[in-house]
Chains A and B, each alone.
Chain A
Amino acid sequence: MIRRTCVVGAGSIGSLYAAHLARVAESCVLTRREDHAFALNEHGLRVTGRHDFLARVLAAARAGDLPEPDLVIVATKATGLESAAAALAGRFPTATVMTVQNGLGAEEIVRSHGSWPLVSGVTFMSGTKHSDAHVEYILDTETWIGPYGDTPFECVEEIAALLVAAGLQAEALPDLRPAQWSKLIFNATVNSVAALTGLPHDRHFAAEDGESDLGRLVHALVDEGKRVAAAAGVELYDDPWEMNVLATKRGSAHYPSMLEDVEARRPTEVDLITGALVREADKHQIPAPLHTAMYRLVKAKEASYT
């Protein structure tokens, strides 16, 4: 029975989880900054957009200041995962820990800091943080979760049911890898192309008529990613090319986080996304020259900040 939850990292995704969970559980938030925790305790957490409510949460910047949770959702960006997981080391021994980072490898990073039962997640929902205590719920799409290692499936089903009761879209899958890999290939392709071209995820990503049209590169990157998935023995849940085409047909173009990161000259999540795909390709001895090129270019763009 999950009575108390703790979301680690209150960016837009973490804030959406924490606020909604407050409707069905005691919702705690572990923040990086003291003033962020103070703002949440002082004002609560306001959700607008798809849903509209004010949630009461208990926030702190130190894990030791929070009561023992039954479920921890680590919702930092991939770039903040290592330090967030290190902050949990030695704490919350009875909790189950769920990751929702983009890419691959988040579970291993958390595992290296403790022996909690782990649950893998991928989420397609999106939001915009307007302040430390206000998040706008933009896309009310699903979170898919599955067991990692020997975590029992019933545990995953309980978390999915809790998220659904909290008003979010969620589904428990016995094997998350097909969904995780579909999103990995989608993100590795769309995020890196957006970061290098400055284009939001718009119609250019599906255009293939002209010889230099961007959709041709997107398609080639997706095909290369699918060959890596096949070599890794993963059958994809959704076709990443179809996910791409569908996403470009939504009304307003999405700004992938990697594009926001390079525009703000911040480190990107490329190591856990494109980097993870390239490492899988190496491991299974499948050539991935295009994703390798994209990885090198994004890393070089990060180097150009200084």
Chain B
Amino acid sequence: MRVCVVGCGAVGSLFAANLAGLDDVEVWAYDLAHEHVEAINEHGLRLSGAGEVLGRLRATSDPAELPSCDFGIVATKAMHTESAIRATAGAFRDGCVATVQNGVGNEDVIAAHVERVIRGTTFPAGKLVAPGHVQWDVKGDTTLGPFEPRPAPFEEVERLADACTRAGMPTYAVHDARGPQWRKVIFNAATNPVGALTGLTHGRVCERPDLRQLVTGLVDEGKAAAAAQGIELDADPEELIDHAAKPEVAYDHKSSMLQDVEARRRTEVDYLNGGIVRFGREHGVPTPLNAAIWSLVKGLEESWAI
């Protein structure tokens, strides 16, 4: 089978390099960073840290070079989904496309361009340290399920999950993948922007009792928005938050949004707090704290233009 990773940043690289190790999978990567693409084609895609991998695959910035693929795995930052899937949709005319991105709403964007869509959530994380080289920080599970409005056949979801698992990325195929997705969205929306606005690491956010209460306020709104859609969370996001705050887990971790803010890059807030606000509105759930946080982070992004 042939898989194309669309957006070969840190998370995309974890999938691409690991899948490239399988004999029965041909891996392509689509990415706009030319240096990264050239390094992958010349030297392979290297992972170090939680696992040492050197994946041999084909990378390109030109969608016309992509062959017809059985699967796409979209791993761009959420704000680049539209342009990335519009450019590459031709390669997936006969295939299925999964998203493993942060936030909610990426599936809808993808479904506007391709027929068969897979909703996904992934917990492993890493960072790009040099062109062609990604540091694998944490291992973790991935969950995939058909996106109901334009679903991929469940056998296909299972086929992709099986390949990822065999490649060293434990992946579950489920009929309703919204539970893990919303657990992660709620976790990210309640913690990332609080870190981004205050400059505090995850652990320091959690050890201030009043700030931790704000985090819980954000979590509660997200839970209400999920419940109104009939989504059953697979675990309580609060547990994930407290677990991550431990010194040996992610106390010193600066949220990806804080890293974005420090580098003055656009953040994914539209798909995190913005997503919770939109789904809340559609289902009659008030989300005033998420709306406040959404506006503050958008305002912060605007301040860089002054």
Q: Is the interface of B mostly helix, strand, loop or mixed?
A: helix
Q: How far is it, in angstroms, between the C-alpha of A292 and the C-alpha of B295 when the chains are bound?
A: 16
With contacts A289-B217, A296-B211, A301-B197 taken as known, whether A197 is within 8 angstroms of B204 at the C-beta atoms is: no
| In the complex, chain B residues 270-306 whose Cβ is within 8 Å of any chain A Cβ | 270, 274, 277-278, 288-289, 291-296, 298-300, 302-304, 306
Asked if B194 is an interface residue, CB under 8 A from chain A, the answer is yes
A199 touches B303 (CB 8 A): yes
Q: How far is it, in angstroms, between the C-alpha of A293 and the C-alpha of B198 when the chains are bound?
A: 12
Asked if A198 is an interface residue, CB under 8 A from chain B, the answer is yes
Residues of A within 8 A of B277 (CB): 211-212
B214 touches A199 (CB 8 A): no
Nearest residue (CB) in B for A218 is B295
A193 touches B211 (CB 8 A): no
B198 touches A214 (CB 8 A): no
B292 touches A290 (CB 8 A): yes
Residues of B within 8 A of A103 (CB): none
Asked if B250 is an interface residue, CB under 8 A from chain A, the answer is no
Number of A-B contacts (CB under 8 A): 95
Q: How far is it, in angstroms, between the C-alpha of A232 and the C-alpha of B151 when the chains are bound?
A: 56
Residues of B within 8 A of A303 (CB): 198, 200, 204, 208
Checking B211, B295, B303 against A213 with a beta-carbon cut-off of 8 angstroms, the contacting residue is B295
Asked if B73 is an interface residue, CB under 8 A from chain A, the answer is no
Checking B205, B214, B298 against A212 with a beta-carbon cut-off of 8 angstroms, the contacting residue is B298
Name the distance in Å between B289's Cβ and chain A's nearest Cβ.
6
Q: How far is it, in angstroms, between the C-alpha of A299 and the C-alpha of B212 when the chains are bound?
A: 13
Asked if A217 is an interface residue, CB under 8 A from chain B, the answer is yes
B199 touches A304 (CB 8 A): yes
Asked if A300 is an interface residue, CB under 8 A from chain B, the answer is yes
Q: How far is it, in angstroms, between the C-alpha of A202 and the C-alpha of B306 when the chains are bound?
A: 10
A301 touches B199 (CB 8 A): yes
B300 touches A297 (CB 8 A): no
Q: How far is it, in angstroms, between the C-alpha of A40 and the C-alpha of B205 when the chains are bound?
A: 45
Q: Which of A204, A212, A220, A294 has the most CB of B within 10 A?
A: A212
Residues of B within 8 A of A196 (CB): 197, 296, 299-300
Checking B198, B213, B298, B304 against A304 with a beta-carbon cut-off of 8 angstroms, the contacting residue is B198
Asked if A4 is an interface residue, CB under 8 A from chain B, the answer is no
B302 touches A197 (CB 8 A): yes
Residues of B within 8 A of A293 (CB): 214, 217, 289, 292-293
Name the distance in Å between A281's Cβ and chain B's nearest Cβ.
15
Nearest residue (CB) in A for B201 is A304
Interface size on A, residues (CB 8 A): 27
Q: How far is it, in angstroms, between the C-alpha of A213 and the C-alpha of B197 when the chains are bound?
A: 17
Nearest residue (CB) in B for A293 is B214
B295 touches A297 (CB 8 A): no
Q: How far is it, in angstroms, between the C-alpha of A4 and the C-alpha of B181 when the chains are bound?
A: 70
B294 touches A220 (CB 8 A): no
Nearest residue (CB) in A for B205 is A300
Residues of A within 8 A of B298 (CB): 212-214
Asked if B23 is an interface residue, CB under 8 A from chain A, the answer is no
Nearest residue (CB) in B for A203 is B302
Residues of B within 8 A of A213 (CB): 295, 298
Q: How far is it, in angstroms, between the C-alpha of A279 and the C-alpha of B278 when the chains are bound?
A: 32
Residues of A within 8 A of B214 (CB): 292-293, 296-297
Q: How far is it, in angstroms, between the C-alpha of A143 and the C-alpha of B217 when the chains are bound?
A: 39
Q: How far is it, in angstroms, between the C-alpha of A294 and the C-alpha of B289 when the chains are bound?
A: 10
A178-208: contact bitstring with B at CB < 8 Å (1 yes, 0 no)? 0000000000000001001111101010000
B194 touches A212 (CB 8 A): no
With contacts A293-B289, A296-B214, A301-B197 taken as known, whether A217 is within 8 angstroms of B306 at the C-beta atoms is: no
Residues of A within 8 A of B300 (CB): 196-199
Q: How far is it, in angstroms, between the C-alpha of A292 and the C-alpha of B199 when the chains are bound?
A: 19
Residues of B within 8 A of A300 (CB): 194, 198, 200, 205, 208, 211
A217 touches B292 (CB 8 A): yes
Checking B204, B205, B291, B299 against A193 with a beta-carbon cut-off of 8 angstroms, the contacting residue is B299
Nearest residue (CB) in A for B278 is A211
Q: Could you list 25 A-B pairs, sorted by A, with CB under 8 Å?
A: A197-B296, A197-B300, A198-B303, A202-B306, A204-B299, A204-B302, A212-B274, A212-B277, A214-B299, A216-B291, A216-B295, A217-B291, A220-B288, A289-B217, A289-B289, A290-B289, A292-B214, A293-B214, A293-B293, A296-B208, A296-B214, A299-B210, A301-B198, A303-B204, A304-B200
- The 8 A-B residue pairs with the shortest CB-CB distance in the complex, in nearest-first order: A197-B299, A304-B199, A198-B303, A300-B198, A217-B295, A214-B299, A212-B298, A199-B303
A residues with a Cβ closer than 8 A to B are 193, 196-200, 202, 204, 211-214, 216-217, 220, 289-290, 292-294, 296-297, 299-301, 303-304
